Structure 1
C-alpha cells in the first residue's frame, strides 16, 4: 500500500515514468556518474596559500559530563489511584509464597489449591534445566554515580549535520523486558512462564539470573537518570503478579509491591514509566499441560505463544485489569502486547490478541477514565520491493507489510476487516462482525513498531497465492509467502552488517514512518530500535564500550526521524532505544544490543559510547532538555 507520491527519475539520460508502468514503489534508484555535491564548500578558494607560523600544541581535550534529569516537583496523575478502583475487581485475594529451589523439602499444605505446595508444583512441572540463583536475594539500595562514570567519550569526527529539533512532546527513552533483565526466576512468589524453560533460538533458557534487575532495579534507574534519560519502558512479568495465571487465583503481593515501588522510584528520579503487559513470557497454564507444545513451530509466527488457548483472552483481560487498576494513575503509556504476530500459532491466536486488547483499551478509557495512551507494539522489519519497477515485487512487499501490520491495525485502528494477506494465509481466522469492528475501532491511540532494519522482498517462485493456499509449514517461504533477502538488486548489502540480521538502514526508516502515518493516520512510536555490534562479546572491555557503529545507527535513525517530522509531516510520538543494557537475548548473552555492558560475574554495568552519543543527540535537539 503506497503512501508516497511517485517521482520522475532521470536514469542514464532517460526518463522513467514509473506511474505509467503501473508500479507502486517504496524506493527508487538513481544513476550518478558525477562528483557528489558539497554545497557547504562553495566559498573555498581554488588555490591554497602556503605559509610558516610559530608552532604550539593547539589541540584541546574538553571534559563534558552527562546531566541527570531533575527530580519532579509534582507528579502527574493519569487515572484514579487503586484505592478508588479496587471495587472494580472485588474478588482479588493476595498472598505470598516465598522462593523455590529444586532441592527444597516438599511443602505440607497440599490441601490448599493455591498454597505453597501447589505453587512449588508449578516449578516442579516446569522442571527448568540447570536452574541457578544469582548474587542477590534482596533489593540493593542505589548509590549516586561518581562523576568519573559520566565523562563523555571523544566525539566521532563525522557527526550529524541536521538542523531540526524534536517537538516538545516527543518521547525519548530506553527499554527492556522482564524475562531479559529481571532474573530471580523462582523468587518471591513468581510462577514459571514460557521463557523460563524455553529459548526460541534452540539454546537452553538460562535466563534465571540475566541482569538481576529484580534486585538491582533501583541502581539501574539511578544510572539511567544520571545519563539524562526521560522515559523508562519495561514489561511486567504476568507470573510474578499471578503465579497461577487465571482469573480467580491469588495475586502475588510481593509482585504487586515490586512493580509499585519500581514505578515510584522511576518517577522520583525525574523519569516517566511506560509499561508492556506481556513480552513473549506466556504463563505455562496456556499450554494445557503439554509443555512439548512450546517447541511447536507456529503456523503464523515463529513460535507458539499459547494465545490460541480458549482461556487466554479472558485471562489476559483479567491480568491487564489488575495492572491498570494498580498502576494506571502513574503510567501514561501502556502496551498490551509486544510483537504478537511472532508468537501467534494460528488465526485463533490473532483473534485472542485483538479481542483482549480491545477490551482492555475500553476498560482503560471508558471504565477507569484513563487519560494516558494505550496501544500494542508490532514487529515488522519493513518490506521493500527488490525492484520498484517490477509489479510482482511491489505486490510481494505489500503482501508482506499488510500481513504484519494491517492484520492488527485494520480492526484496532481503522475499524475495518482483516487484510486479504491475512485471510488467505490464516485459513482458520475468526471472522470479525460489524459490531466487532465498531467496538475495536480506535482502541489504539498510536501505532508502535520495532523497526530494527528492513528486508528486501520479492515474489516466491510458486507465487504468493499458491504458497498461502498450501500453507506448508516446511516451506522456506511460509507463512509470509515472499522471498526475503539482505541485499539489493545490485548485490550490495542493504546496510552495515551487525551481529545478527540487523543492518543500518536509516533512509528506509523514513520511508517506513511515512507508510505508517499515511496508512493508519495515528501518531507513530518507535517502541524499540537498536543495534548489536558485530563481535562485541569477543572484544576487550575498553573496546566494547567504544561502540561507534551503534552510535552511527542511533544517530542516523533519529536524523531520518527528524526529516520525517519536518519534511514529510509525519506525527512522531517518540522513540525508545533497545536496550538500556546488554541482556539475555532469548538464549544468547553474546548478541549485545545494550547501551551498557554487563559483567556476568559481578553484574557491574558500564556505559558505552553510544549511550552518551544518543542522549547528547536528543538533548541538543529537544526543548524539554534545555533546563536539565
Structure 2
C-alpha cells in the first residue's frame, strides 16, 4: 500500500517502461535539439583490478582486492578472482581494437597503485609498472584516443591497509606522493585525471558495512573517517597539480562521485537525500559555502550527543581544510546507474550508529521500472536528467562528465535491453544539455565484460563480450557496441535499434 500511495503522490511515472512477454524496454522523451554539441565527447571505461589480471607479475604488489578474493572467496558470488580477468595487461591490443571500432574520443581506465608502488610507498617504486602504463597511453594517443586516467579505483595497496588504510590520515600524504609520480610520468600526455572513484561507496562498503575489503565494521564512525580522508586526499592532490604541474601540463583534475537521484514530491526530502548522497563530497567541493552540508553537520552532531559522545562522529572540517577543499576540482564525474523514490523512514534504519540511521529515509523502487541483472539496477533515465539539473542549480553549473553509466545482463550478444538503457539515458543527458546543464562528455561502463567486484563474472556490463574460458580471451562486439558507435559517429541518438 505504501508503494501505491507513493507513486500516486509523486504523480508521474518517471521512466516510460513497456513490459511485454518477450522484451522489456525503457524510454525517455526527447526535448530540444536532437544533436549533441560538436565538442561533446564519448568514451568507455574500465578499471585495473577488473580487467588487467597479471596480479603478481612484473613487480606488482598485492592490493586489498587481491587479499579479499584470495582469502575470502565466499564473499564473491561465483568464487572467482581478478587474478587473470580479461588479461588486459597482456592483451591491451585487443582492447585497443575494440576502442577503435567504437570510434570513442576518450578511454577512461585506472592505474593500479600497487603496480606503480607495490607497497604503496615511494620506496618500492616499480619501473616495469610505470612502463606498462606509458605503453597504454602512447598507443591510445597514436590512435587518436584521449586517455582519462583514474588514480584510485578501489584497489588500495595491501601494505597500506596494515597501517589502517583510508582510516589513517597519513593516507593523504601517501596518495599525494603516488599522484605526483603519475603527474611526473604521464602528465605531459594525460590531460584528464580522476583522483578517486566512488569514495562514498568504497568507504561505506569497506569501512562501514564490511562488504568490501578491508571488511571493517565501523558504520557511522570509521566510514566517515574514510570519507573525510578521501576528500582531503583528493583536494591535496588537486592543489599539488595546480601549483606544480598545471602551468606546463594544462590538464584537468576531477573526482568521480556515485549518486542516484532521489525522487519525491517533497522538495525537503529530495534535498535531504541528495545531501547525504551526492552532497557528502560535492558540497565541500562545489557549493558556495563549502564544508559538509549543513544538514549533515547538524544532525550527525545531534545524533552523536544522543549516543553519549563528546563530539560528532562526522569529522570537523577546519577553516584551513575547508579552504583547501572548496573549488578543488575542474569537473565532477558522475557515476549514475539508477534512482529511487524516497520517504521519511517510519522506523529507524540500520545499525546505531550508521550512515543509514543518520540518513533516516526509506528508498522504494517502482515495479514498472525495467531492472538489470544486478538487483539494485533499475532503468530510471529521468533520474539522470534530474541529477544533472540538480548539479546545475546547486553547484553553479560546474562542468560535468558522466564517468560511468551502464546496464547489466547475462551477457547476450543481442543485448536489446542494454540498447534501450543506453538510448534512454543518453536522451536524458541530451535533454539536460538542452536545458542549460554544463555536461561535456559521456563514458559508458564498460568497454568489456569484466570482474564486477562481489558479483564476480556473474553479471555483464560490457559492450564487448570476453570469452573467459579461452586462453586468448577473445573480445566479441555485442549489438550495443554497434549502436553506441552510431551515436558517436552521428552525435545523435538513432531511433532504430
Pick one of 159, 167, 170 that aligns with 1:308.
Answer: 167
User: For 1:312-340, what per-residue CA distance to the aligned partner results, in whole angstroms no more than 9, with x for missing partners?
Assistant: 11101110110111111111111100000
Aligned mates of 1:585, 1:479 — CA distance in 2: 29
Q: Any unmatched runs of 5+ in structure 1?
A: 1-24, 32-155, 291-305, 538-543, 623-628
Specify the alignment match of 1:63 in structure 2.
none
SS at match of 1:496: coil
In the alignment of these two chains, the number of paired residues is 431
Specify the alignment match of 1:526 in structure 2.
402
Residue 187 of structure 1 and its aligned partner are, at CA, apart by 0.6
* 1:355 aligns to 2:229 (yes or no): no
* 1:574 aligns to 2:432 (yes or no): no
* 1:545 aligns to 2:388 (yes or no): no
Q: TM-score, normalised by structure 1?
A: 0.65
* 1:208 aligns to 2:83 (yes or no): yes
Aligned mates of 2:10, 2:227 — CA distance in 1: 34
8 Å contact 1:348–1:430 — kept in the other structure? yes
User: For 1:338-382, what per-residue CA distance to the aligned partner results, in whole angstroms no more than 9, with x for missing partners?
Assistant: 000112233321221121111111111221124221111111122
Aligned mates of 1:197, 1:189 — CA distance in 2: 16
Residue 412 of structure 1 and its aligned partner are, at CA, apart by 1.8
SS at match of 2:476: strand
Aligned mates of 2:133, 2:187 — CA distance in 1: 12
Aligned mates of 1:192, 1:435 — CA distance in 2: 35
Residue 502 of structure 1 and its aligned partner are, at CA, apart by 1.2
Pairs within 5 Å for 1:157-236: 163-198=33-68, 202-203=75-76, 204=79, 206-236=81-111
Specify the alignment match of 1:384 in structure 2.
263
Specify the alignment match of 1:411 in structure 2.
284
Pick one of 499, 503, 509 that aligns with 2:378.
Answer: 503
Pairs within 5 Å for 1:429-468: 429-462=314-347
Pairs within 5 Å for 1:82-481: 163-198=33-68, 202-203=75-76, 204=79, 206-246=81-121, 248-288=122-162, 306-344=165-203, 345=207, 346-369=223-246, 370-385=249-264, 388=265, 391=266, 394-414=267-287, 416-423=290-297, 424-425=299-300, 427-462=312-347, 471-473=352-354, 477-478=356-357, 480-481=359-360
8 Å contact 2:102–2:484 — kept in the other structure? no
* Structure 1 moving runs of 4+ over 4 Å: 158-163
Over the aligned positions, Cα root-mean-square deviation in angstroms equals 2.6
SS at match of 1:590: coil
8 Å contact 1:198–1:205 — kept in the other structure? no
SS at match of 2:276: helix
Aligned mates of 2:420, 2:190 — CA distance in 1: 31
8 Å contact 1:338–1:376 — kept in the other structure? yes
8 Å contact 1:197–1:205 — kept in the other structure? no
Residue 586 of structure 1 and its aligned partner are, at CA, apart by 0.7
Which structure's residues are more often helix, by fraction?
2
* 1:611 aligns to 2:481 (yes or no): yes
8 Å contact 1:236–1:276 — kept in the other structure? yes
Cα distance change, pair 225–159 in 1 and its aligned pair in 2 (3 A): farther
SS at match of 2:388: helix
Higher relative contact order (CA closer than 8 Å, sequence separation 6+)? 2
* 1:560 aligns to 2:428 (yes or no): yes
Cα distance change, pair 417–310 in 1 and its aligned pair in 2 (3 A): closer
SS at match of 1:550: helix
SS at match of 1:497: coil
Specify the alignment match of 1:67 in structure 2.
none
Cα distance change, pair 230–185 in 1 and its aligned pair in 2 (3 A): same
Cα distance change, pair 524–289 in 1 and its aligned pair in 2 (3 A): closer
8 Å contact 2:119–2:160 — kept in the other structure? no
Pick one of 595, 613, 627 that aligns with 2:463.
Answer: 595
Aligned mates of 2:238, 2:28 — CA distance in 1: 42
Residue 421 of structure 1 and its aligned partner are, at CA, apart by 4.2
Residue 479 of structure 1 and its aligned partner are, at CA, apart by 5.4
Residue 289 of structure 1 and its aligned partner are, at CA, apart by 6.6
8 Å contact 2:28–2:381 — kept in the other structure? no
